[in-house]
Amino acid sequence: MVVKINILQVISGNDNGGGGNHVVNICSSNIFDMKCKIACIGEGDLYKKAKELSIPAVSFTFKEMIKGSLVKYIKENGIDIVNFHGPKANFIYLLIKKSLPIPAVTTIHSDYRYDFLNDKKKKYLYTPLSTIALKKFNNYICVSNYLKELLEHKNFKGKKYVIPNGINFKKYNVKIDRDELRKKYNLKNDDFIYIMVARMHPIKNHINLIKAFNILQNDFSDVKMIFLGNGELEGELIKLVNDLNIKDKVIFAGFNENSIDFINASDVSILTSFNEGGAPPLVILESALVKKVAICSEVGDMPLIINSSNGFLINPYSEQDIYDKMKNVYLNKEQLGIMGENLYNDTLNKFSIEAFWENYHKAYKEILTGSEVNE
């Protein structure tokens, strides 16, 4: 008889980025004996999305969780293992660990040293607390080899698993086709479009990209830039674009749940982050899905994924290098179809949703049994 594993994912209810999508993907598993629920810290976009997708989800305030609501829910619902995601969730684990009756694991989505880069006070106050909380775990799921190596370098004890991001290559949903979306944003059919899908946070390095694009648009009149996402830097970035007098070339499209529509309507996907924990970032997988070339920072595990046959690697600290690679892409338009096809094929087997589910399933079983699982 197959024994069902009941897993609870604990994450901030307003996480609408890569971590939130990662959790939704875990909970969408078709593995019969792996059943997931989500406990959101507060209601927000992720909580609403889970409800829309019929994923079992509850929400508690931070205070309710640390005062016993989370442990009570775990006991009442027969949860076998709890998977925490993000600094806030990890801090909750620190506070309730002694009363938690079952094994726990944290998924590391990013370099914890930079989680609070956007706020100087939070950086110096919360980063040490986040580090203390992380070191309380006995099990870690790292979304890249880079993160695993970081934990080992920083002397984190406990078992570490590497589970890269995954995506469903058999099914994706483009709700608005290329021509319709371009028309909506007054883009010409022959405009050459770069797109960056990322929250507007200092780690994502929008400023260097805007400065590089400013140089590029002086060289080529038909280039345009779309930024998809929102965040605390949005006002500053809009001001920079206005000061450079390129607002007719740059579109701030805000947050959109179906980012793949925008990637599909563009020519090149670009990600200029100073640091990327995920391997690969979901936006790179979405780019592969619609066979679009990717320009990506040479950070983390990205050199193992992006190469000269399927994309371009950049030094995120160099405006000149970002500009050079954007120009290179533009001047080699005729090669983009082949390179996009290569990116699709290169990621198809390594980062399928099925491999993602199997890796999580194996890790959960091993944590529960305390021994390696050979399947």
Write out pLDDT tens, residues 314-329: 999 999 999 999 999 9
Q: What is the distance between the alpha carbons of residues 318 and 337, in angstroms, rounded to a whole number?
A: 27
Residue 161 Cα distances to 51, 94, 139, 171, 362, angstroms? 29, 21, 8, 27, 10
Tokens encoding 51: 């409800």
Residues found in the chain: 375
| pLDDT at position 118 over 70 | no
Kindly state the tokens that stand for 206.
Answer: 């929008």
Residue 275 corresponds to which amino acid?
Answer: N
- Predicted confidence at residue 128, as pLDDT, reads 82
**Entry pTM:** 0.85
In sequence order, the 6+-apart residues with CB closer than 8 A to the CB of 48 are: none
Residue by residue, DSSP assigns 176-223 as S-HHHHHHHTT--TT-EEEEEE--S-GGG-HHHHHHHHHHHHHH-TTE
Q: Tell me the torsion sign for CA atoms 41, 43, 45, 46.
A: positive
State residue 133's pLDDT score.
92
Specify the DSSP element, H or E, that contains 124. Answer: helix 120-134
pLDDT the model gives residue 373: 43
Q: Are strands 34-41 and 5-12 parallel, antiparallel or unpaired?
A: parallel
For 57, what's the count of Cα atoms within 13 Å in the CB-facing half-sphere? 27
Answer for the pair 324, 365: CB distance below 8 angstroms, yes or no: no
pLDDT tens track for 22-55: 999 999 998 889 999 999 999 888 999 999 999 9
Whole-angstrom distance, CA of residue 3 vs CA of residue 195: 45
DSSP tag of 53: T
